[in-house]
C-alpha cells in the first residue's frame, strides 16, 4: 500500500510543485537584490494560495527594493485591506511621472488635435482576480511584478524596452477581501498528498464563497455604478490615467481551457466601434502566439461579450481604451481532474502570466496605433452640429438621490452644470437647487451614452439582435435613481432661455436643517432618500415618531402621504434636547425639518388618529445555503452602510435554534431549495416561520422566495409561462430557453401613493428592476394592488413576448395577513447592485410601515 502511494504521489504532484523556472526563463538574468515571492511569502508561487495579507507584504517589500516602482495606497476595503496600485516603469519615467500623465491625458481631451504620439509611453492597466475565488490572476501578479522589477535591464533587452515605453498600472488584487476569504478556504482544505478528486471539499466552497466582496457584491458589475470602495479605487486609477489597454484576469469552469477577447461578435454593444474590436483582435494575436509557445489550449469569440459597460473589460471600450477579458479554466484548489487532464494551480498561473506578458508585448508593438486610437476616439466625441445638446435631470424634493447620481457622474469625470433658474421641460419642473445639466458635447459623450443617461425618442433600448444576455440587458441610470430627466438643446444655447449654467467643480455634501425651534411639534416630508435614516435615529434615541396616512396642507404648503411628525409633549427628551437632536440628525441626513406651533392644518390635524406610530424595526436577514448571496448582500449593505440600521444575519442552518420572536421583521432574500450551489441540508423549517408570523412577525420575501412561501406557508396564484418548443432543433434548445430568461430589465409601474408601501415616492409611477420570472396574479380588490405594471410596461431591456404578456397581468407586490402577522411579497429586486436608489424605499417602507399595510 505504502509503495503504491509513493508511485502515485509523483503523478499527482506532477507540475503541482514547481520552481521559478517553470514560470520564468533563465533565472540567472534576475537581479538577486530583488526579493523573490518565495523569500517573502514563504512558499513557491502555486504551492499554496496567496492570501491578500501575504500579497500586501510582498508588494511592500518589493517596492522598497526597486526604483522602477511607485507604490500607491488607494483606500481600504470594507475589511480594512489596502487597495494597492503599483506603478511600474523605467526610473527616468518615474522621475517624470506627473508630466507623462498630463501629456497622456491630452489624448482624451479632444481640444488637442496636434499631439505627436511617436515618442509617448503607452499606459497599460493590468488587474487581477476581481472574483476572489478565481485566484490564478493574483498569484500570477506576484511573478509579473517580480519579473518587471528584477529582470536585469542590461541583459534582458525586452524588459528595458517595456519599461522605457510603458507605464504599467499593476493592480494585483481587484478584490482583496474575496481573495483573502478564498485563499483561506483553499489552503485549509489542501491535502499534503495533493488530491485532484473534484468531490473533495477543497473544490466545493461553502456559502457565500470567495467570488464577491465583503457585502457579497460581484465587483465586476460595478464599473458604471461605482458604489463600492474596490471599484472607487479602480475608477480613480482609470480616470486619472486613461490607460490604452485594461486587462481583467478571471477564471471559468474547470473543464474549459483559456479564453481571451474578442467575445461573441453579435453580442457587442452597438456603442463599441468595429475599430475597437479589430484592435482587440489584433492584441489577441499576441496571446495566440504566446500560448502556442507553451502548448496551452485556448479559444476566442465563442463566449462572453462586450455588452454591459459595468464590467471592467467593457468599460474601457466606452473611453477610447481597449478592455480585454481573460478567462482561465479554474483548478479552484491546488490540482483538479478535468476533461483536459489534471489541471494544476501552477499551470493556471502560468497561463495568466503568459498573457500578462503578451499584453505588454502587444502594447509595445501597437503603441502608436493605440495612442492614436485614443486621440481619434476623443476627437470624435465633439460634434459641432450638436453643440447645445444636453441632458437635464433632477427631482423636486429628494436632494440626496440627485446628489448620489451626480456623484456617479463626477467619479467618471463627466462634466455637468448647475442651473441658474428653475425651468420647465416638456411639462416637468426642474428646480435650480436640485437639478443638473449634462452637456453632451464633451469628451465623455460615449460614456454618457453608455450609462444610458439619454432619453431615447421611444423610451430606451427595447429591441435587440440577440436574445441571450450574459448579464442584465438594461441599466438606464435615471430610471434606476428614479429622477426626472429629458434631452434638451435649449438650456445651453445663449439667448434662448437665457440660462447661464455653471460647471460643477466640487460637489458639496447635502445637509439639512431645522427652520426654527418649536415647543409644539416638528414635521418633515418622506421624499428624501435618507428620511428613514433620520426616523430610525430619532426612534433609537427614544422619540415617538408618527407618520401621516393622509395628505394635508399648512398655509398653502402641501404635505404628502407619509409625512413624519415629532410632537414635543410627553417625550423622553425635553424641548431643548429634541431640538438639538433634530438639528444634528437633519444636518447628517439632509432632511429639512419644519417647526409647527399649532396642531390645526388644512386636512388632518397633528393630533389626529390618522397619524400612526412608527415602530423600531428589529431585523433578521436569512442568509446561507439556498439564499442568493448577491440579494442578501445588497440588503445587508443597504441597511448597514446607508441607513445605519443593524441587522442580524440568521444562517439557514442555525435557524432552528434561534428564537425569532425578538425580530419584528425577517427578510428572506431570493431563496430556493433547488438553488444550483446548494448542498444538502439547511432547509428552512416552515413550521417555525409559520409560528413566527402567526405570533405577529412580518416575513418579507423577495423574488423566488415568493414561490417558497406559496409551497410552504400560504398558496399564491401565479401566471406561468407554458411555452413549448415548436420548430426548435436540438442544437437551438439552449437559445430557446435562454430567450425566456429575464436577466434584468426595467418596467414601469403605476403606484397608489396612499398605500404605505409607496410613501416618499414623489411621482405616480415607479420604474422597477426585474430579474425573475415570478408573476403573481393581481388581487381582485384594487386597493390591494398598490403597485401595478403600466399598460405598456417595458421601459428598457429584454423580455420575451410570452413573459411580457404575463407580466402585464401580474402584480409585483402583495401583502398576506396571517394570524397576528403579515407576509410581504415582492417579485422584483428593489435593491439591485447598490445603485437602484429609486426603489430602495420599497424595502424601507416594508420595515417601517408594515403595521399600517
Ligand atoms: Zn470572473
**Better pLDDT: 468 or 783:** 783
Percent of all residues in the chain with a pLDDT value above 70, rounded to a whole number: 94
Cα of 213 to ligand 1 centre, how many Å? 13
Share of the chain above pLDDT 90, in %: 83
pLDDT tens per residue, range 412-434: 999 999 988 899 999 999 999 99
Q: Is the pLDDT of residue 17 over 80?
A: no
Alpha carbon 475 to its chain's center: 11
Q: How far is the CA of 250 from the centre of ligand 1 (A)?
A: 4
Could you tell me the distance, in angstroms and rounded to a whole number, from the CA of residue 343 to the centre of ligand 1? 18
Sheet containing strand 258-260, edge to edge, reads 69-76, 82-88, 166-171, 122-128, 245-252, 322-329, 258-260
Q: Give 205's DSSP letter.
A: P
In this prediction, residue 2 carries a pLDDT of 37
Of the pLDDT bands very low, low, confident and very high (cuts 50, 70, 90), residue 9 is very low
Q: What is the pLDDT of residue 735?
A: 85
Distance 83 CA to ligand 1 centre (A): 18
> What integer best gives the mean pLDDT of the chain?
93
- Using CA atoms, how far residue 828 sits from 209, 706, 803, 853, in Å, is 25, 11, 14, 19
Q: Does 19 score more than 50 pLDDT?
A: yes
The DSSP code sequence of 411-467 is: HTT---EE-SS-EEETTEEE-TTSEEEEESSSTTHHHHHHTT-S--TTSS----S-S
Residue 5 confidence (pLDDT): 38
Give the predicted TM-score (pTM) of the model: 0.95
Average pLDDT over residues 312-321: 97
- Segment 819-832 shows an average pLDDT of 98
What Å distances lie between residue 123 and 59, 104, 366, CA to CA?
20, 8, 12
- Quick check: 591 pLDDT over 60? yes
Q: Which of 593, 611, 595 is nearest to 603 (CA)?
A: 611
Contact 328, 340 (CB under 8 A): no
From 236-245, 360-369, 375-384, the region with the lowest mean pLDDT: 375-384
CA 251 to centroid of ligand 1, rounded, Å: 5
* DSSP label at residue 700: E
CA 679 / ligand 1 centre spacing (Å): 22
As a whole number, mean pLDDT of residues 44-61 equals 98
427 CA to centre of ligand 1 in angstroms: 45
Q: How many A from CA of 178 to the centre of ligand 1?
A: 12
The closest alpha carbon to 70, from 98, 44, 107, belongs to 98
Per-residue confidence band for 156, with pLDDT thresholds at 50, 70 and 90: low
What pLDDT is attached to residue 737? Answer: 87
Q: What is the mean pLDDT of residues 359-382?
A: 95
Q: How far apart are the CA of 246 and the centre of ligand 1, in A?
A: 15
Q: Are the beta carbons of 604 and 561 closer than 8 angstroms?
A: no
Please check whether residue 645 is in contact with residue 827, taking contact to mean a CB–CB distance below 8 angstroms: no
**Taking 80 as the threshold, does the pLDDT of residue 110 lie above it?**
no
Distances in whole angstroms, Cα of residue 248 to Cα of each of 23, 131, 170, 471: 20, 10, 11, 17
- In terms of average pLDDT, the best of 3-7, 78-82, 416-420, 719-723 is 78-82
CA of 128 to the centre of ligand 1 (A): 10
Distance 454 CA to ligand 1 centre (A): 30
Give yes or no for residue 640 having a pLDDT over 50.
Answer: yes
Q: Tens digits of per-residue pLDDT, 453-493?
A: 887 654 456 666 666 777 888 899 999 999 999 998 887 66
Closest CA to 424 of 432, 415, 413: 432
Spatial separation of the C-alpha atoms in residues 347 and 330, rounded to whole Å? 10
Question: Ligand 1 centre and the CA of 209: distance in Å?
Answer: 13
Cα(660) to ligand 1 centroid in Å equals 37
pLDDT confidence tier of residue 677, bands split at 50, 70 and 90: very low
Distance 706 CA to ligand 1 centre (A): 29
* Nearest Cα residue to 53 out of 181, 152, 193, 212: 181
Q: pLDDT band for 575, please (50, 70, 90 cuts).
A: very high
How many A from CA of 680 to the centre of ligand 1?
26
Distance CA 524, CA 566 (A): 9
CA distances from 566 to 551, 554, 571, 594, 598 (A): 16, 16, 9, 10, 13
Helix, strand, coil shares, percent, the chain, to 5: 35, 20, 45
Instruction: Return d(Cα 492, Cα 502) in angstroms, integer.
Output: 10
Q: Please give the average per-residue pLDDT across 619-625, as a whole number.
A: 96
pLDDT confidence of residue 80 = 98
Q: How far is the CA of 545 from the centre of ligand 1 (A)?
A: 46
How confident is the model over 766-782, as pLDDT tens digits? Answer: 999 999 999 999 999 99
Query: H-type helices in 680-800, by residue range?
Result: 686-694, 705-712, 733-738
Residue 6 in this model has a pLDDT that exceeds 50: no
Determine the pLDDT at residue 777. Answer: 97
Cα(612) to centroid(ligand 1), Å? 48
How many angstroms separate the alpha carbon of residue 449 from the centre of ligand 1? 26
585-611: buried (b, 16+ CB within 10 Å) or exposed (e) per residue?
bbebbbbebbbbeeeebeebebebeeb
Q: 129 alpha carbon to ligand 1 midpoint, in Å? A: 7
Radius of gyration of the chain (CA): 29
Compute the distance from residue 638 Cα to the ligand 1 centre, in Å: 24
Amino acid at each position: 500500500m505504502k509503495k503504491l502511494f509513493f508511485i502515485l504521489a509523483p503523478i499527482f504532484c506532477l507540475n503541482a510543485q514547481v520552481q521559478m523556472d517553470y514560470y520564468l526563463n533563465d533565472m540567472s538574468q534576475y537581479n538577486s537584490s530583488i526579493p523573490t515571492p518565495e523569500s517573502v511569502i514563504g512558499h513557491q508561487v502555486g504551492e499554496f494560495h496567496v492570501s491578500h495579507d501575504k500579497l500586501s507584504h510582498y508588494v511592500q517589500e518589493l517596492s522598497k527594493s526597486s526604483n522602477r516602482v511607485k507604490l500607491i495606497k488607494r483606500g481600504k476595503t470594507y475589511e480594512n485591506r489596502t487597495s494597492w496600485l503599483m506603478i511600474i516603469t523605467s526610473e527616468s519615467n518615474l522621475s517624470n511621472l506627473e508630466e507623462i500623465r498630463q501629456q497622456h491625458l491630452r489624448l482624451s481631451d479632444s481640444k488637442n488635435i496636434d499631439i505627436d504620439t511617436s515618442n509617448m509611453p503607452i499606459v497599460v492597466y493590468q488587474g487581477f482576480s476581481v472574483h476572489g475565488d478565481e485566484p490564478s490572476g493574483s498569484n500570477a501578479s506576484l511573478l509579473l511584478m517580480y519579473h518587471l522589477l528584477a529582470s536585469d535591464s542590461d541583459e534582458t533587452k525586452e524588459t528595458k524596452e517595456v519599461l522605457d515605453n510603458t507605464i504599467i498600472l499593476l493592480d494585483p488584487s481587484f478584490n482583496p477581501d474575496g481573495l483573502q476569504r478564498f485563499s483561506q478556504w483553499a489552503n485549509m482544505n489542501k491535502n499534503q498528498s495533493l488530491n485532484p478528486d473534484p468531490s473533495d471539499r477543497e473544490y466545493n466552497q461553502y456559502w457565500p464563497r470567495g467570488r464577491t466582496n465583503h457585502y457579497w457584491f460581484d465587483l465586476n458589475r460595478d464599473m458604471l455604478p461605482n458604489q463600492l470602495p474596490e471599484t472607487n479605487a479602480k475608477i480613480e486609477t482609470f480616470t486619472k490615467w486613461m490607460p490604452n489597454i485594461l486587462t481583467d484576469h478571471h477564471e471559468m469552469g474547470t473543464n474549459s481551457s483559456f479564453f481571451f477577447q474578442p467575445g461573441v461578435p453579435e453580442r457587442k454593444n452597438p456603442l463599441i466601434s468595429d475599430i475597437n474590436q479589430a484592435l482587440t483582435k489584433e492584441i489577441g494575436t499576441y496571446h495566440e502566439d504566446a500560448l502556442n509557445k507553451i502548448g496551452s489550449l485556448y479559444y476566442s469569440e465563442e463566449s462572453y461579450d462586450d455588452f454591459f459597460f459595468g464590467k471592467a473589460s467593457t468599460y474601457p471600450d466606452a473611453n477610447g481604451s481597449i478592455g480585454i477579458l481573460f478567462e482561465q479554466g479554474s483548478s479552484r484548489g491546488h490540482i483538479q481532474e478535468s476533461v483536459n487532464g489534471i489541471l494544476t494551480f501552477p499551470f493556471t498561473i502560468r497561463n495568466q502570466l503568459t498573457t500578462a506578458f503578451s499584453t505588454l508585448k502587444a502594447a509595445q508593438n501597437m503603441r502608436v496605433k493605440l495612442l492614436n486610437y485614443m486621440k481619434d476616439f476623443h476627437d470624435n466625441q465633439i460634434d459641432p452640429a450638436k453643440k447645445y445638446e444636453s441632458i437635464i435631470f433632477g427631482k423636486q424634493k429628494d436632494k440626496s438621490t440627485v446628489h448620489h447620481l451626480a456623484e456617479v457622474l463626477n467619479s467618471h469625470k463627466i462634466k455637468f452644470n448647475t442651473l441658474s433658474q428653475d425651468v420647465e421641460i416638456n411639462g416637468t419642473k426642474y428646480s435650480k437647487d436640485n437639478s443638473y445639466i449634462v452637456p453632451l458635447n464633451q469628451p465623455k459623450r460615449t460614456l454618457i451614452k453608455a450609462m444610458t443617461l439619454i432619453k431615447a425618442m421611444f423610451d430606451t433600448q427595447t429591441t435587440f439582435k440577440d436574445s441571450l444576455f450574459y448579464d442584465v440587458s438594461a441599466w438606464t441610470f435615471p430610471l434606476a435613481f428614479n429622477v426626472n430627466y429629458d434631452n434638451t438643446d435649449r438650456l445651453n444655447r445663449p439667448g434662448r432661455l437665457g440660462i447661464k449654467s455653471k460647471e460643477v467643480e466640487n460637489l458639496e455634501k447635502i445637509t439639512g436643517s431645522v427652520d426654527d425651534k418649536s415647543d409644539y411639534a416638528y414635521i418633515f416630508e418622506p421624499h428624501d432618500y435618507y428620511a428613514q435614516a433620520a426616523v430610525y435615529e430619532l426612534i433609537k434615541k427614544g422619540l415617538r415618531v408618527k407618520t401621516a396616512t393622509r395628505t394635508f396642507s399648512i398655509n398653502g404648503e402641501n404635505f404628502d402621504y407619509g409625512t413624519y411628525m415629532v410632537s414635543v409633549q410627553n417625550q423622553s427628551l425635553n424641548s431643548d434636547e429634541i431640538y438639538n437632536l433634530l438639528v444634528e440628525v437633519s444636518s447628517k441626513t439632509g432632511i429639512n425639518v419644519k417647526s409647527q406651533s399649532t396642531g390645526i392644518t388644512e386636512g388632518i390635524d397633528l393630533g389626529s388618529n390618522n397619524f400612526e406610530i412608527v415602530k423600531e424595526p428589529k431585523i433578521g436577514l436569512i442568509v446561507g445555503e439556498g439564499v442568493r448571496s448577491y440579494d442578501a448582500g445588497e440588503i445587508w449593505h443597504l441597511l448597514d452602510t446607508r441607513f445605519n440600521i443593524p441587522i442580524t444575519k440568521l444562517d439557514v442552518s442555525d435557524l432552528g435554534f434561534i428564537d425569532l420572536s425578538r425580530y419584528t421583521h425577517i427578510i428572506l432574500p431570493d431563496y430556493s431549495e433547488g438553488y444550483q450551489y446548494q448542498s444538502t441540508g439547511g432547509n428552512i423549517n416552515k413550521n417555525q416561520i409559520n409560528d413566527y408570523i402567526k405570533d405577529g412577525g412580518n416575513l418579507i420575501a423577495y423574488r423566488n422566495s415568493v414561490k417558497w412561501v406559496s409551497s410552504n406557508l400560504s398558496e399564491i396564484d401565479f401566471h406561468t409561462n407554458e411555452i413549448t418548443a415548436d420548430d426548435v432543433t436540438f442544437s437551438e434548445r439552449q437559445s430557446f430557453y435562454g430567450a425566456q430568461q429575464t436577466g434584468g430589465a426595467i418596467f414601469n409601474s403605476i403606484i397608489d401613493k396612499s398605500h404605505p408601501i409607496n410613501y416618499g415616492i414623489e411621482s405616480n409611477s415607479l420604474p422597477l428592476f426585474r430579474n425573475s420570472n415570478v408573476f403573481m396574479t393581481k388581487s381582485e380588490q384594487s386597493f390591494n394592488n398598490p403597485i401595478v405594471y403600466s399598460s405598456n410596461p417595458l421601459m428598457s431591456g429584454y423580455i420575451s413576448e410570452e413573459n411580457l404578456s404575463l407580466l402585464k397581468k401580474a402584480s409585483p407586490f402583495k401583502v398576506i395577513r396571517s394570524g397576528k402577522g403579515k407576509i410581504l411579497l415582492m417579485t422584483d429586486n428593489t435593491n439591485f447592485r447598490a445603485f437602484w436608489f429609486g426603489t430602495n424605499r420599497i424595502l424601507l417602507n416594508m420595515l417601517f410601515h408594515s403595521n399600517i399595510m
